[in-house]
Amino acid sequence: QRRMFTNVEMDNSTGVAVIKMNSPPVNSLSLEFLTEFAINMEKLEMDRGCRGVILTSSVPRIFSAGLDITEMYGKTPEHCGAFWRAVQEMWLKLYGSSMITIAAINGSSPAGGCLMAISCDYRIMTDYPKYSIGLNETKLGIVAPFWFKDTMINCIGNRATEHSLQLGLQYNPPEALKVGLVDQLETEDKLMTTASSVMSQWLAIPDHARQITKSMMRKPIIDQLLRQREADVQNFVKFITKDSIQKSLQMYMEMLKQKKG
């Protein structure tokens, strides 16, 4: 039987779906997870009754740990290529969605987890000091590709992105609010109610006007990736299969395990 990585609950009375990521222990974004996520987004996009999506997690303390490192370590170039296409597809579906997308960030959200959050239209994060969010790729010895970087620039601006990406910064909730990476902080118990209430404000705007505006803001980056999608895959495969990068990933995974022990 196929494993489910996300639960989708559609409320037909409001036209809002809640996608809960549910892949313990850390909602890491595996090839299968990403494929299922993109299919779910496609289905909701096709559903004329669905106008908004709230993205959150069922896993305690974690929104998403980002891309599943085991999908990039010790794998064949073919596997790495298929994995990267799935990462692209997740981003294209989320960043390019015509629906209103709100991230209810109820836990830590490094790297690819942060990308998911900043691909939404609005972010509300639980105000808990141990949670963090950011694109920390350089800390793993890898590089956030241009469309991660441009999504971040559209969210927090050029200078803050440059600072953040070079240092691989992870922000706690008040810092994330200050830099503009999240729009609002909330207590754990009120997070979903607040997300629904923000959604109501966005739902009050006529869809066609909001959708055209959103597309105007995001289309240039999306088109840039679409124009060079296969080159981006080959670039990733070439980079990630380098011995030096594989070594960095191995050391990072060992560090994660040691931290645990």
Ligand X SMILES: CCCCC/C=C\CCCC/C=C/C(=O)SCCNC(=O)CCNC(=O)[C@H](O)C(C)(C)COP(=O)(O)OP(=O)(O)OC[C@H]1O[C@@H](n2cnc3c(N)ncnc32)[C@H](O)[C@@H]1OP(=O)(O)O
The catalytic site residues sit at 67, 112, 136-137
Of 91, 88, 12, 3, whose CA–CA distance to 52 is shortest?
12
Which residue stretch of 37-45, 64-72, 190-198, 213-221 sits at the interface with ligand X (rule: CB under 6 A)? 64-72
CB of residue 261 to ligand X, shortest distance in Å: 9
What is the Cα–Cα distance from 190 to 194, expressed in whole angstroms? 6
Ranges within 204-233 binding ligand X (CB under 6 A): none
Ranges within 156-185 binding ligand X (CB under 6 A): none
What is the Cα–Cα distance from 136 to 253, expressed in whole angstroms? 14
Q: Out of 127, 137, 150, 186, point to the residue binding ligand X (CB under 6 A).
A: 137
Beta-strand ranges (E) seen in 81-199 are 100-105, 109-110, 122-126, 133-134, 184-186
Which residue stretch of 33-41, 139-147, 196-204, 209-217 sits at the interface with ligand X (rule: CB under 6 A)? 139-147
Which residue stretch of 10-18, 89-97, 186-194, 234-242 sits at the interface with ligand X (rule: CB under 6 A)? 234-242
Q: Which position's Cβ is nearest ligand X?
A: 66
What is the Cα–Cα distance from 78 to 83, expressed in whole angstroms? 9
199 binds ligand X, rule: CB under 6 A: no
Under 8 Å CB-to-CB from 237, ≥6 apart: which residues? 77, 80, 81, 84
106 binds ligand X, rule: CB under 6 A: no
Return the number of the residue (137 or 186) whose C-beta is nearest ligand X. 137
Q: Out of 41, 52, 59, 68, point to the residue binding ligand X (CB under 6 A).
A: 68
235 binds ligand X, rule: CB under 6 A: yes
Q: Out of 25, 49, 174, 220, point to the residue binding ligand X (CB under 6 A).
A: 25
How many whole angstroms from its chain centre is CA 7?
Answer: 16
Pairing of strands 16-21, 6-11: antiparallel
Return the number of the residue (91 or 122) whose C-beta is nearest ligand X. 91
82 binds ligand X, rule: CB under 6 A: no
What is the Cα–Cα distance from 128 to 143, expressed in whole angstroms? 28
Q: Out of 15, 66, 81, 173, point to the residue binding ligand X (CB under 6 A).
A: 66
What is the Cα–Cα distance from 163 to 161, expressed in whole angstroms? 5
97 binds ligand X, rule: CB under 6 A: no
Residue with tokens 């974004």: 29
- Residue 140, judged by CB atoms within 10 A of its CB (0-12, 13-18, 19+), counts as buried
CB of residue 146 to ligand X, shortest distance in Å: 8
Of 32, 28, 26, 33, whose CA–CA distance to 6 is shortest?
33
Q: Which residues bind ligand X (CB under 6 A)?
A: 25-26, 28, 62, 65-70, 108, 110-112, 136-137, 140, 142-145, 235-236, 239-240, 256-257, 260
